[in-house]
Amino acid sequence: MTTLLQFKKVSKQYGSSTVALSDVNFSVNEGELVSIIGPSGAGKSTLLRCINRLIDATSGEIIFDGMDVLSIGRRNLKKLRTKIGMIFQNYNLVERLSVFENVLHGRLGYKTALVGALGFYHEEEKARALEILKSLGLEEQIYKRCDQLSGGQKQRVGIARALVQEPRVLLADEPIASLDPSSSKVIMDHLKNICETFGITVLVNLHQLDVALNYSDRIIGISSGRVVFDGMPSALTHDAIRQIYGSDPDGLNLNVERPKEVAQKR
């Protein structure tokens, strides 16, 4: 397995005092599904946004696919971002446009400013978008406006928009935080499926520890901007959980036994 993404001593400061990330080191292999867990405000979102430079890290080195992310120029940044898909807790779709248009936004990074602004897409691009929408079970909805969709459907549109980019890695920023349990399962199953069938690396921020334990190949635990755990789900002990969340796992009302069974089944 080759290393796709590497964080070396990455730090991020807001202003002069607020530290979001400090000395973060980890690496992600190609085709892995990695969950990033930690309490609110621990720096999970900042960490993901450092990868596609929606946020610029203050210091350190981020290597993605052999490129030094922090030092590339504008043109290469656009190229880098096309390789990185991202989905969000609030879906971040353009509500007044149709599902089809929103999905095709994923192709904008490949176009010149004028062609993209006018919204001209190749037939192959449209066909590919349609194929992806079908695989996500959205073929009935393609001409619907996004404000008419349910939360779970919106998130699937978000995934489709990320997939038409033909990304190497998919960043998911709390993708299921505003969804009900059954939609959450659909979304997580799709992410798992994307990871396994297309070999796309998936980095997902999660609040739900049980989901992280059930779905991920590896878990990275973050607490106040530092990586405090990095390992297999089966290695996540009560002590590690206490270190990440700062409270006793028994008090958190978690079922940590079940995922261990899942891990054993593999």
Position 105 contacts another protein (CB under 8 A): yes
- Pick from 82, 141, 155, 216 the residue near another protein by CB under 8 A: 82
Position 165 contacts another protein (CB under 8 A): yes
- Pick from 88, 121, 215, 245 the residue near another protein by CB under 8 A: 88
Q: How far apart are CB 18 and another protein at their closest, in Å?
A: 10
| Contact predicate 171/142, CB 8 Å | no
d(CA 179, CA 202) in angstroms, rounded, equals 19
3-class secondary-structure state, position 83:
coil
Q: How far apart are CB 259 and another protein at their closest, in Å?
A: 30
Q: How far apart are CB 175 and another protein at their closest, in Å?
A: 13
CA distances from 194 to 75, 80, 135 (A): 28, 20, 10
- Report the candidate in 99, 103, 102 with the shortest Cα–Cα distance to residue 141: 99
Of 39 and 109, CB closest to another protein: 109
Position 81 contacts another protein (CB under 8 A): yes
Position 41 contacts another protein (CB under 8 A): no
Of 79 and 134, CB closest to another protein: 79
Position 52 contacts another protein (CB under 8 A): yes
- Pick from 9, 94, 120, 231 the residue near another protein by CB under 8 A: 94
R_g over Cα of the chain: 19
d(CA 212, CA 22) in angstroms, rounded, equals 23
Total Cβ atoms within 10 A of residue 140: 11
Position 92 contacts another protein (CB under 8 A): yes
Packing angle, helices 151-164 and 181-197, rounded to 10? 20
**How many residues lie near another protein (CB under 8 A)?**
36
Of 175 and 259, CB closest to another protein: 175
* Tokens 């002590």 belong to residue: 239
CA distances from 246 to 25, 123, 153, 216 (A): 21, 53, 35, 22
User: Of all helices (H) and strands (E), which one includes residue 101?
Assistant: helix 99-104
Of 92 and 234, CB closest to another protein: 92
Q: How far apart are CB 67 and another protein at their closest, in Å?
A: 14
Q: Check residue 198 and report its DSSP letter.
A: S
Of 24 and 108, CB closest to another protein: 108
Of 1 and 114, CB closest to another protein: 114
d(CA 57, CA 49) in angstroms, rounded, equals 9
Q: Which residues bind another protein (CB under 8 A)?
A: 52, 54, 77-82, 84-86, 88, 90, 92-97, 101, 105-111, 113-114, 116-119, 158, 161, 165
